[in-house]
Amino acid sequence: MLRAFLVSGLVVIAAGLTANSAFAETPIEVLAVFKAEASGTPGFQGFSAERGEKFFKTKHNHDLSCSTCHTDNPAAQGKHSETDKIIKPLAPAANEERFTDMKKIAKWFKRNCNDVLDRECTAQEKGDVLAYLLTVKK
């Protein structure tokens, strides 16, 4: 019995180590990074999921919005607007890999904001969108 207990303990520890090494950050930590960045902006009053949702679903330039590819339901699978390539769900509740790698997050915000807004997104916008995505349930 004791041995069985020790073995299962080992499983739990190993699983914990694996989980930690797989994801460098959690979405909450990422939100904190955006907050630290946005705090330097005059008039910053925190993030709003409501504002993030509006931003996500509003068409900006070129008749594009975030939801053009990610759909109006970020917990669902999306589709690239040009190539139809499947895009995995964006909401962390539906896809645990999302918002766990700062480098990847920075790259995709930069690229997609440039496509949709012809500019990079502000920390306020990124924080609002993430705050919204964190409210989306599976």
Minimum Å distance from CB 82 to other proteins? 7
Dist CA 57 CA 116 (whole Å): 11
In the range 4-63, which residues lie near other proteins by CB under 8 A? 6-7, 10-11, 14-15, 17-18, 21-22
Provide the token pair at 22: 């797989």
Q: How far is the CB of 33 from other proteins (least distance, A)?
A: 19
3-state SS, residue 115: helix
Rounded to the nearest whole angstrom, what is the least distance from the CB of residue 97 to other proteins in the complex? 12
Q: How crowded is the C-beta side of 4, counted as CA atoms within 13 Å?
A: 1
Signed CA dihedral, 27, 28, 32, 35: sign only: positive
x-or-dash string of contact with other proteins, 58-97, rule CB under 8 A = ----------------------x-xxxx------------
The single residue among 25, 37, 101, 115 that binds other proteins, judged by CB under 8 A, is 115
Q: Does 1 bind other proteins (CB under 8 A)?
A: no
Strand partners, 86: 79
* 27 within 8 A of 130, measured Cβ to Cβ: yes
Give residues in contact with other proteins (CB under 8 A): 3, 6-7, 10-11, 14-15, 17-18, 21-22, 80, 82-85, 111, 114-115
